Structures are given as structure tokens and as C-alpha cells.
Amino acid sequence: MRRRGPRRGQTRVIEALLSSIVVVAAMGIASGLIRAPSSFSQRRTEDASRFAYSLLTRLAEADTFDGIMFENGNLSAGWEDELKVMVGSMLPSDAFFNMTISNCTVVEGVPRESLLTARGLSNAMTPEVFEAALGVGSADIVYTTRTLWILRIHMELVYGD
Amino acid sequence: MAVVISVLLMSAAVLSYATSVSYTKFGDQSYPDVITAVASDYGNFLVKLLADFTHVYNSTSDINLARQKANELHSTWILASTSAFSGRGVVIRPEWTSAQIQPAKSLYGYDYPPKLAYNLTKLYWYQPQSISVVASSISIDMPAAGFYGFETSFLSLLNLTIDIPSIQCHQCPCHQSGGRVSFRLTVLKEGQKPLFDLTGDSFQVRFFDPTAMPPDPSWKVASISSVEYEGQGSYLLTVEPAFKVPSEALSFWSLYYRYFDVIAVDSRDIIVEACSYCGLGMQVRDNSGITTSPGDHNVDYIFEVLSNATAFWFGRKIQQPACPPLPPIPGRQLSVQVEREVGGTPTIENVAAQVEQWEASQRFPSAGNEGTPSRFLAQSRLVFDVGFPSGLADLVLRVSWESDCDVARACDAFTVRGEGPTITIDNGHFSASLLNTTSSGEWQNYTMSITEGGSTFQYSLGGYDSASVNGSVLLPRKVPCGTWTVIAGPVRVLAFRRSSAIMDRLSMSITTSEALHETVIAVPMGEDYFYWQMNLTWKAAVQLSNKFLSICSVGAPNGTDFGSLLKSDRATIINGTFASGAMEHRDRRYNLGQDFSNWAALYSDSLGAALVVPGSTLSELGTSGEAQLWAWTSPLAQRAFEYDLYYFRTSPIPFTVDPNHRIITRGAGFVYGGGLAQSPYQNDQEWRIYPAAPAMCSSSGTNMPNTYQRMFLEERAPAVLSVQSF
């Protein structure tokens, strides 16, 4: 005579156990995929972002953007080169940045951004510097000039190897 | 088994949490940085917004324009910032702060009301303590990061306080016209923090120049000799005022040096403007001698005050002591109050005031009254109505300036673009029509007609020469014409024209070679009178075919049966009845038409119109020796009183005018309730005998003109007894 009941219960427990193991394994794999490739690159990204934000904030508080970019209320000639040199001088020698500045306006209730840095503002020789970097930090600020231009300033920063 | 399952579930929870933390932690920029970036620039933006706001207001005097721009910029910043951080899901909500930035206080004897920041930007300027302020708060949420409820408030201000007791003049003993003025002021920013980096370029000080004559500006920027920082935001300024004629500036060193205006600009580019005084108190006396009963008309004058505080009444200067000038602030900030006692309790009432722009000479209104805000300068006039209630001979006027730049007390008069042949002015009491006569076909027998209660009275100003046509006479043959410019405000309407156009009714043509005429007619709002001034300047030795010149007249249609006039003894009144056909009732040719004085009136038992001429016009009439107050009924039974410089002659006498004789006449007219003349008698000398048009012994229609004519007489002009600044 066969006793079927207890065996069916054991199977279900095993199934539940296996399911739980599968769920935990899946979450572990997913968690690993979400994380940065390595703790080293994560730290670099974090540091670069904080440094970029700190730098932009210092420049804004000192009204550097006003002083370099504007003359008599209008964009001054050669401001991009001057700003590039200024920002570059404030970075470690192995750091590369890429900065974009847009003028934010509202036309008939719709926000518009017009890019002021058409030529790009970077001290990197080639864009590959950012593609190859282990950690790219970035920061955004909004800066209002004396002539009440509202600028959105975005900066990406990487450290060289 | 249960333990194993529990461990697995706990592991799942821990992994979920760790994943979430990693996601947040290793984002490009963490939410505190984003929030700090937004909030930091909001504070920066507000400071620059306030700077721009103060500059726009300082240059335009238009607070609405400045506020509109500020609000638009604020909206733009919110939208732009939200858009800039849209990838991070930033939600920004601004909210105006409502806060008291300064409690009510008393400083240098002046009581300041509390200063509130209830709008994005507020300016409390033009008093010894002045403030520019911006205040707002924002809340920031980042739903994507699970962050809610960040709130922060911003307040930035610039506070300028002039230390009034420190004002000193240092007149140079070697050169009496030169010297310096020194005074202290304190400049603070938010949190009562002192500003210590201001220099001479940060200040602009303007003083009144008593030696300046138009068109030279009466307020001049002083050169700053030195600025000494004394700590705690206190500066000692020494300035050297500028004068048009330094050698004639002695009055400055005894009076005017205490009254100045300071503009300070800090390193953030925020402007604040302060004056060293808050207003003027003027004790004014009514000398009309009119005693009215309760319920009667008030004695209501139209006063005008210029930038140098010269007061005018009905367009003429009145007696006053030397007094401080009105500061060069936006005219809308000026405020006029009357101190009265009501039931034994002193009360202060605001009265309506308007700011008009006149030509630099202050002799003729400017056509450029666009109604736009502007500073009160040498071309400006502050016009207001001063009513002396029954039995009150003295009252105190306070001309002050509002510190809150959002509060406009005085209105800017604006030019009314009248089109068509007729301009209508309704002052709430009567309706007046003026003719825009630009061609000979538009001739009407009046300059201005007044309609009230269904009756119309016609006033004519100026006219000369006569001509006979088919048995009738054109009187006058030539009349001033042209188009009117009208400026309007809550106190009065001014209609004025300067023209060389003279219409010849005989040839039905317009000539411009004979005379220049300048006419200003003022119609006060809510009053029953108007007044005018007319200057007639001959352009050449014009040949008149008949020696006849009319100064002014009042006419009424058939039905206005009574007429009264004051004789030259200024005590006797002649009353008469008008006829049903052509008749000269008082005429220099037939009776004592030359015996007249300040007024004449036409009336029925329900309505009347008076014509008043002051002593200056009587003097003008007296220069010819051929003047008359002509009372006549026309062939169409129109009635009229007419002041003529040269009476009419039936047999024409050619006459060449003296081109050097400038005829300046003033007068007033008013409508009233009329009256009834009674007890006829016949006296050809007083009122020429005519069937059914006799003279009358008495009349109930003379009291009003005989009483209220005094309002317009120079010898009874009101006087400013004293002026004190506060």
C-alpha cells in the first residue's frame, strides 16, 4: 500500500525552495548588472560629479560667467576660449571637461533652450577621451546673469588614467 | 525549512534595498546637489531681478512696467529651471513671501508706517529712510528621487537712511556763492548687515538750484567731494552743489541746502532713492471774505504748485514765503492732504491731484501730456482742488510724497485726442463744447458753449473789427480760430490753443498774418465754473475797418430774460430785462455803458450764467478809454453781455492797432440757479428804455455772482501764510 499524501507535500516544499533560490539568484544577478562595472569606476564618477558641481558653483558665486561671457550686456567676442582656459586652469592636469551652455527663454509660454557653445567647450583633444574613461561625472546648474539671461550650464568631467 | 525560506525572503529584501541605494547613490548628480544648485541660483536670480527692477523704475518712473517685467522674468526663470532639470524630475513651486520688513517707527519726527514685503519686489523710496526689497520662497520636489518638501525663503534688500540732524552746510567765507554740504547716511542690506564697499560712484546727490531758470534743470547733480566710511554702514558724504549762477545762490545756503535727493547703487547694482524730507505743510488763507451758510457752495479753488513750490491760483502767482521745493520724484507719488477740524477732531483728508506738463516757460501747457509717469521737474505742475468750507478762512495743506512706489496719489493728466469740429467736456456739473474751427465754414457764434439743465449759454473770447452786409452787421468781423488741444485729469480739463488763425467772416477766409492768440481754458471737475486766459499779440500794425475789439462775452437765447451787472463803484447793481428784438440796453453810445465792474450775469428764474473779469482785465480795458460793458438783444432775441476794449461804432472809424500792445485778459464764467428781477422802473441812463424791457429795482439773481465773483479777484486772492517741511 502506497502513502501518497506526505510525498506530495515534500515535493511542494522543494518546489518552493527552488523558486525562492531562483528569485534570489535573479535579484542578485540584476543587482550586479545595475551596479557600476566596478567600485573603482563608481567612485571616480561620484568624485568627478561632485568636483564638477563644486566647480560650477564656485564659478557662479564669483559671477565668473558674467565677467567672461558678457560685455555691455552682450556676449563678448572670444568668451568661449577665455572660459575654456579659465575652467581648465581650475582642474587637475589629468582631468578633461566638456561644457555646454544654453540660454533658456520662454517663448509664448514654452521653454526654449538655445545652445551658446556651438563649437563645444572642452579641453579634451578628442571625444574618445570621454568614451574610454572609466567614470564620467556630470553636473548641471542654472545661472542668471546680470542682464538676466538664464543659463543652463552642463559639465562633464573625467580623470585621465 | 521555514527558517531557510525566511532567510531567502530577507535576502531578497536586502538586495532590493541595496539596489535602490546604489541607484540613488551612483546617479550623475545626487539630489542634494541639484536642489542646492536650483536654490542657490534662485537667490542669485532674485538679487539681479531686484537690481533690474530698480533700474527700470528709476529710468521710467513706471512701477507697473517694472513689475510686469520682473514678473515675466520670474516666470521665465521658473520655467527655464524646471526645464533644465526636467531629466531629474525637479518640480519648483514659487510663493510670494508676505513679511514685515520693518515695523512702524518714528524717525526724525516723521511717523513711518510698517513696511511690508507682500509682492515679489517692493520699493519704499523718497523718504529719509528708503528700502528696495525682493522676497520670495520656493519649494522643490524631486519625485523621481523620492524627495519631497524642500522649502527655502529669500529676502534681499538695500536700506538707505539719511541722518537728518547731520546735514550741515559749509559756506566758503571767501566766496559767498560757493560751499559744501555734508551729511551722514547709513546703507544696510538684509539682516542689518552693513555695506562697506560703497564709493563716490555709488551715490548721486541732487540739490535744488534756486538760480536756474527754464529750460535749465532746477535740480542739479552735486559733485561728490569725499565719501568717508565710518563703520556699521555709515558714510559721511561731502558734496559740492552746482548752480547756474553761483553768485546768486545765497538763498541756497540759508534754506535749500537741507533739501536733497540721494540715489545709492550697491555692488549688486540695486538702487535705492531717498529724500531728506517727507513733505511740506502749507498754511493757506482764504481772503475772499465769502461767508456761506451750511449747504451753500464751498469756496473751491484750483491750486497749482510748481517744482520750486511756487503756488498759483487760477493761473496766477499768489503771495507766499520762501519755501522748500518739491523733490524730483515721479509725479504720481505726490499726495495732497487737507487738515481740517470736524466736530472738534482734527482730520486729514486726501484730495484729488493731477500732474500736468507745461512748456519750460511755465506760461502755456504742453501738448505732450501723454499720461505716462514722469518725474516732477521744472515743467511739471501739481494741480489740486482746495475747498474752504463754510466759515473756514485758514486751513493747512500737506503736500507729501508716498514712499510706497505702488501707491499712486496724483494722476498724470493726459492729452485727449478730440476729433471732429466739436470737443465736448463734461465736468459732472455742466457740458461744455469747444469748436475746432479750422475752416471758415465752421463758424459759430461762440468759443465755448455751456449746457446745463437744458439751457445753453455761449461764451466768446476775442474778436475785432466789424462789417456791414445787406443791412446787418458782422460783429465781430474777425475772430480767433484754430484747433484745441485738451488735457484731462481728475481735477480739471485744460483746453488750449496757440494759433495765428483768424477767421474773416466777411471774406469767409482765414488769415494768419494779423495776430497770434494763445488761449487756455480750464474746466474744473465737479465745479460750476470755468476760467481762462487769453493773450493776443499783434503780428503787425493791422488796419481795422472799424475800431472795435471785444474781449469776452456771454450770450443766452430768448427766454433768459434778466440781466444784472455791477457798476464801477462796486456797490451798485443794475438789473434789467432783455427785449424781444434788437436793442442796446447799455451802450457807450447811448448811456452809461462805460460804467461797469467785475461781473455781469444773464439769467431766468431757474438758471443763469455769470461772466467775471478780475482787476487785471479791468485794467486792460481801462487802457483804451473806450471800453464798455455792452448789454444787448440781437434781432433774433439773443441776449448778451460783452466786455469791449473798443466799443462798437455804427459809423466805422478805421483804426491801426499798436503792434506793441499785447492784450492779456483773464476771466471766469459760471452757471447758477438764476433768479427773478422785480419792480420795473424806467431810467434810460441805466437801462435804455424799451417797451416791455425795463430796468428792475431788485433781483434774487444777483447774490450768487456778486458773492462768488470774489473768488476770482486778485485783491482777494488766497495767500500761503507759512510753509514748513516735515
> Would you call B415 helix, strand, or coil by DSSP?
strand
Picking from B29, B38, B48, the nearest residue to A148 by CB comes out as: B48
Residue A36 and residue B83: Cβ atoms within 8 Å?
A: no
Between positions 70 and 99 of B, the ones with CB within 8 A of A are 73, 75-77, 79-85
Query: Could you tell me if B9 lies within 8 Å of chain A, comparing CB atoms?
Result: yes
Residue B664 lies in a domain: no
Identify whether residues B365 and B380 lie together within a single domain. Answer: yes
- Name the band, by pLDDT with cuts 50, 70 and 90, for residue B393: confident
Identify whether residues A29 and A52 lie together within a single domain. Answer: no
* CA dist B342 → B21, B323, B350, B390, B392 (Å): 76, 28, 15, 12, 11
Specify the number of domains making up chain A.
2
Identify whether residues B233 and B318 lie together within a single domain. Answer: no
Identify whether residues A25 and A56 lie together within a single domain. Answer: no
> Would you call B61 helix, strand, or coil by DSSP?
coil
Q: Is the pLDDT of residue B26 over 50?
A: no
The pLDDT of A14-37, averaged and rounded, is 75
- Name the band, by pLDDT with cuts 50, 70 and 90, for residue A7: low
pLDDT tens-digit profile of B592-643?
999 999 999 999 999 999 999 999 999 999 999 999 999 999 988 999 999 9
Residue B80 and residue A13: Cβ atoms within 8 Å?
A: no
Give the pLDDT confidence score for residue B372 in this predicted structure: 84
Full domain range(s) for residue B408 = 279-413+717-725
Least confident of B33-47, B356-370, B436-450: B436-450
Identify whether residues A62 and A14 lie together within a single domain. Answer: no
**Mean pLDDT across chain B:** 90
The three cell numbers locating residue A85: 582656459
DSSP class of residue B482?
Answer: B
Give the pLDDT confidence score for residue B15 in this predicted structure: 67
Query: Could you tell me if B25 lies within 8 Å of chain A, comparing CB atoms?
Result: yes
- Name the band, by pLDDT with cuts 50, 70 and 90, for residue B125: very high
Beta strands in B512-637 (DSSP E): 515-524, 529-538, 543-544, 549-556, 562-566, 573-577, 583-586, 599-603, 608-612, 628-633
Picking from A27, A35, A148, the nearest residue to B12 by CB comes out as: A27
**Residue A121: which CATH number?**
3.30.1140
Identify whether residues B309 and B228 lie together within a single domain. Answer: no
Identify whether residues A74 and A147 lie together within a single domain. Answer: yes
Q: SS3 helix, strand, coil % of chain A, rounded to 5?
A: 45, 25, 25
Residue B44 and residue A144: Cβ atoms within 8 Å?
A: yes
Of B248, B275, B302, the one marking the end of a domain is B275
Q: Is the pLDDT of residue A4 over 80?
A: no
Q: Which residues of B touch A142 (CB under 8 A)?
A: 37-38, 41, 77, 80-81, 84-85
Q: B54, B123 in Cβ contact below 8 A? A: yes
Picking from A31, A42, A143, the nearest residue to B15 by CB comes out as: A31
Residue B16 and residue A27: Cβ atoms within 8 Å?
A: yes
Cα distance between residue B49 and residue A150, in whole Å: 11
Beta strands in B232-313 (DSSP E): 234-240, 260-265, 271-275, 279-285, 299-306, 311-313
Burial class of residue B204, CB neighbours in 10 A (0-12, 13-18, 19+)? middle
Distance between B280 CA and the closest CA of chain A, angstroms: 39
Residue B609 lies in a domain: no
Phi then psi for residue B66, to 5 deg, are -65, -40
Identify whether residues B360 and B403 lie together within a single domain. Answer: yes
Of B275, B304, B319, the one marking the end of a domain is B275
Identify whether residues A12 and A91 lie together within a single domain. Answer: no
Phi then psi for residue B615, to 5 deg, are -60, -35
Identify whether residues B256 and B318 lie together within a single domain. Answer: no
Specify the number of domains making up chain B.
2
Residue A31 and residue B29: Cβ atoms within 8 Å?
A: no
Distance between B272 CA and the closest CA of chain A, angstroms: 18
Strands across the sheet containing B380-388: B316-317, B311-313, B299-306, B380-388, B353-357, B411-412
Q: Is the pLDDT of residue B700 over 80?
A: yes
Q: Which residues of B touch A31 (CB under 8 A)?
A: 15, 18-19, 22
Q: Which residues of A touch B16 (CB under 8 A)?
A: 27
Q: Which residues of B touch A65 (CB under 8 A)?
A: none
Start-to-end CA distance of chain A, whole Å, equals 74
Residue B367 lies in a domain: yes
Give the pLDDT confidence score for residue B615 in this predicted structure: 95
Give the pLDDT confidence score for residue B90 in this predicted structure: 86
Give the pLDDT confidence score for residue B108 in this predicted structure: 86
Identify whether residues A22 and A63 lie together within a single domain. Answer: no
Identify whether residues A146 and A97 lie together within a single domain. Answer: yes
Identify whether residues B287 and B408 lie together within a single domain. Answer: yes
Identify whether residues A119 and A60 lie together within a single domain. Answer: yes
Identify whether residues B320 and B379 lie together within a single domain. Answer: yes
Residue B85 and residue A140: Cβ atoms within 8 Å?
A: yes
Query: Could you tell me if A95 lies within 8 Å of chain B, comparing CB atoms?
Result: no
Identify whether residues B271 and B283 lie together within a single domain. Answer: no
Give the pLDDT confidence score for residue B142 in this predicted structure: 86
Q: Which residues of A touch B84 (CB under 8 A)?
A: 102, 104, 113, 140, 142, 152
Cα distance between residue B206 and residue B326, in whole Å: 12
Cα distance between residue A85 and residue B2, in whole Å: 65
Identify whether residues A65 and A96 lie together within a single domain. Answer: yes
Query: Could you tell me if B28 lies within 8 Å of chain A, comparing CB atoms?
Result: yes
Q: Comparing C-alpha atoms, which of B560, B532, B529 is closest to residue B640?
A: B560
CB pairs under 8 A between A and B: 123
**Residue B220: which CATH number?**
2.60.40
Which residues are paired to B440 by β-bridges?
A: none
> Would you call A11 helix, strand, or coil by DSSP?
helix
Identify whether residues B204 and B259 lie together within a single domain. Answer: yes
Query: Could you tell me if A149 lies within 8 Å of chain B, comparing CB atoms?
Result: no
Which residues are paired to A113 by β-bridges?
A: A104
Cα distance between residue B474 and residue A120, in whole Å: 87
Of B260, B275, B290, the one marking the end of a domain is B275
Residue A140 and residue B34: Cβ atoms within 8 Å?
A: yes
Identify whether residues A54 and A123 lie together within a single domain. Answer: yes
Q: Is the pLDDT of residue B261 over 70?
A: yes
Residue B44 and residue A45: Cβ atoms within 8 Å?
A: no
Distance between B198 CA and the closest CA of chain A, angstroms: 19
pLDDT tens-digit profile of B283-336?
999 888 887 666 666 788 999 999 999 999 988 899 899 899 999 999 999 999
Q: Which residues of A touch B11 (CB under 8 A)?
A: 24
Give the pLDDT confidence score for residue A1 in this predicted structure: 47
pLDDT tens-digit profile of B566-593?
999 999 999 999 998 889 999 999 999 9
Identify whether residues A83 and A146 lie together within a single domain. Answer: yes
Which residues are paired to A71 by β-bridges?
A: A74
Identify whether residues B292 and B198 lie together within a single domain. Answer: no
Identify whether residues A73 and A120 lie together within a single domain. Answer: yes
Give the pLDDT confidence score for residue B546 in this predicted structure: 96
Q: Which residues of B touch A53 (CB under 8 A)?
A: 29, 33, 37
Pairing of strands B411-412, B353-357: parallel
Start-to-end CA distance of chain B, whole Å, equals 93
Full domain range(s) for residue A7 = 1-35
Query: Could you tell me if B553 lies within 8 Å of chain A, comparing CB atoms?
Result: no
Residue B80 and residue A104: Cβ atoms within 8 Å?
A: yes
**Mean pLDDT across chain A:** 82
Picking from A17, A61, A111, the nearest residue to B80 by CB comes out as: A111
Give the pLDDT confidence score for residue B725 in this predicted structure: 92
Residue A49 and residue B49: Cβ atoms within 8 Å?
A: no
Query: Could you tell me if B33 lies within 8 Å of chain A, comparing CB atoms?
Result: yes
Cα distance between residue B248 and residue B288, in whole Å: 36
Query: Could you tell me if B16 lies within 8 Å of chain A, comparing CB atoms?
Result: yes
